[in-house]
Amino acid sequence: MAELATIARPYAEAFFKVSQGDAADMSWLEEAAAVSASPELLALAENPRIQDDQVLSVMNGVIKAKPSAAAANFLQAVVENGRLAALPEMASQVRALVNTKQGVDDATVYSAFELDDAAKADLKVVLEKRFGRSLKLTVALAPELIGGVRVVVGDEVFDTSIKARLEQMKSTLMA
């Protein structure tokens, strides 16, 4: 959603400047974003009878990580400005800024089966060579692939799954 991304951008840039990519602040932001995605919390925040400090209290009670002073101020500004729904997008944009600073890209690997640590390490080497940059892998199960993997890096997709090969064979035979 373009509007959400536009709303989130200045917040993400401000958080990134203040936190300087601190790992503790980043993990806190990820957790806060996950909590803020809850429909119940969003409904609570939109309730006119609920004060901003009550929403902050609920969030701080749910989030396990303790925020730095700057992160707490950031969350307060987000809640006070009614931008809680944009917090997941803010976290995504901050993650992208941190990755850019570190020279790394996020890569999501969809696999039909669980990958052990050795397989992940081998796959990471192959994918970094294929995409020509450092990657931070996240593995997700996708049994519908039947076998192989599907890798998404930004807007690039590298699909070596059996499902993709079967679809390719089907389109070739239909032509």
- Mind listing the pLDDT tens digit for each residue in 9-47? 999 999 999 998 788 899 999 999 999 999 999 999 999
Per DSSP, the three-state class of 85 is: helix
Chain length of the chain: 175
H helix or E strand, kind and range, residue 47:
none
- In what side-by-side order are the strands of the sheet with 104-111? 134-141, 104-111, 149-153, 156-159
pLDDT of residue 20: 83
Which pLDDT belongs to residue 87? 96
On the question of pLDDT at 2 being above 70, the answer is no
Q: What are phi and psi of 81, to 5 degrees?
A: -90, 5
**5 to each of 11, 13, 125, how far by Cα in Å?**
10, 12, 32
Ordered domains of the chain (ranges, CATH): 2-100 (1.10.520.20), 103-174 (3.40.30)
Q: What span, in angstroms and rounded, lies between the C-alpha atoms of 155 and 143?
A: 22
Lookup: tokens for 167: 């679809």
Token readout for 69 is 């002073």
Q: Could you report the per-residue pLDDT of 44-94, keeping only the tens digit for each?
A: 999 999 999 999 999 999 999 889 999 999 999 999 999 999 999 999 999
Query: At 106, is the secondary structure helix, strand, or coil?
Result: strand
pTM to 2 decimals? Answer: 0.75
**Residue 19 token pair:** 């936190």
For residue 139, what are the contacts with CB-CB under 8 A and spacing of at least 6?
108, 109, 111, 115, 120
